[in-house]
Amino acid sequence: MYEPPWYDQDLEQAASNAAQRFDLDDDEARELVEMVVDALEEGGDAVGDAAWDVENEHPGVPGEDFVEDVAADLGYEDLL
């Protein structure tokens, strides 16, 4: 998949926002953001599965809210 030069910066910003909002460290947030982006690109059931995976890996983090925030940060909100 082609990734424009700004793509990594956008992921870092989304991860930084997620880390602050959901009280995660930067590495955890980046890992979860990448998982959500993969699901958003795949679409369908993968998005719901990603929300469940977020909650499973970090029980204090509401998966649907996390996915929606990442989608909004990266311009994917039309896919939800």
> 52 vs 14, 31, 32, 71, 73, CA distance in Å?
19, 15, 11, 15, 20
Q: What percent of the chain has pLDDT over 70?
A: 90
Please give the model's pTM, rounded to 2 decimal places. Answer: 0.88
Flag whether pLDDT at 20 surpasses 90. yes
pLDDT-based confidence at 76, cuts 50/70/90?
confident
Which one, of 52, 78, 65, lies nearest residue 23 by Cα?
65
Mean pLDDT estimate for the chain: 90
